[in-house]
Amino acid sequence: MKNLTFFLLFLSFFCFAQKQDLKKEINAITNDKNATVAVSVTGIDFPLHFENKNGEKKLPMLSVFKFHIALAVLNKVDQGKLKLDQPIFIKKADLLENTWSPIREKYPDGNIEMPLSELIKYTVAKSDNNGCDLLLRLIGGTETVQKFINNKGIKNFTIKADEAQMHKGYEFMYWNTTSTNDSNLLLMNFFDGKVLSKNSTSFLMKTMIETTTGTTKIVAQLPKGTPVAHKTGSSGKDEKGLTIAENDIGIITLPNGKHYAISVFVSDSMETEETNTKIIADISKRVFDYFSRK
């Protein structure tokens, strides 16, 4: 009995020491940067949570909010108010210029019908801004998303501006905020089936794994073939060279089949775009290596 007690104490101390090492490694990546960096890491099917000093801070989401919007849309599908195969008519007037829109690039003249499922994929996996605003209008605007996410127990979350509004000025990019801790909580609950039905959860997980944006962020340094279901966000730089946000949140599957949520927000950064994305990539690699060793 004494040997078992000693072993458990040793194991607890060893895990604590490892966690402290991970904290030091992450702090070493962020400490000398001219930016606010928030990091949260949460085991989904194993007990572990790590956050840095900014884990509770509400920071601008940018396109990360398209994950939350997709959840609210799919909730309408689960309620029978929408169907994934229903056609959505897209007018040419819906395809705004001077915004990121693979839909507009493919259908410049608009006036097409697209299944709701495909519109969600464009919005999440390709981060289409016009698709995002079409989804918002379909469900009644940002207020619908705000209420749904709050009802799922996520309190540090605010959504007020759609993509069209955010493109009217950099100040509007600060209207949509959340914390990395709350991002992880939502990711964990989503994965556990506490947010959507099983079918909707599987659909969105698959869509997020197929994400083509943010290849220099969370996924950049992970082993090829690692399943990563993620959503990125990026503001670009303002006229003073300030990056309002460079973000990535996601669910990563380890080689042993376990999963963890990771959210990294780089905000109000005067670093280069390459440095901002490398901060996220370096942190993601350190976390993956830490769990792989364990």
Active site residue 63: yes
CB atoms inside a 10 Å sphere around CB 284: 25
Active site residue 163: yes
| Choice among 40, 51, 63, 101 that is catalytic | 63
| Choice among 51, 163, 246, 271 that is catalytic | 163
Query: Burial level of 209, CB count in 10 A (0-12/13-18/19+)?
Result: middle
Which residues partner with 243 through β-bridges? 237, 269
Which residues are designated catalytic? 63, 163
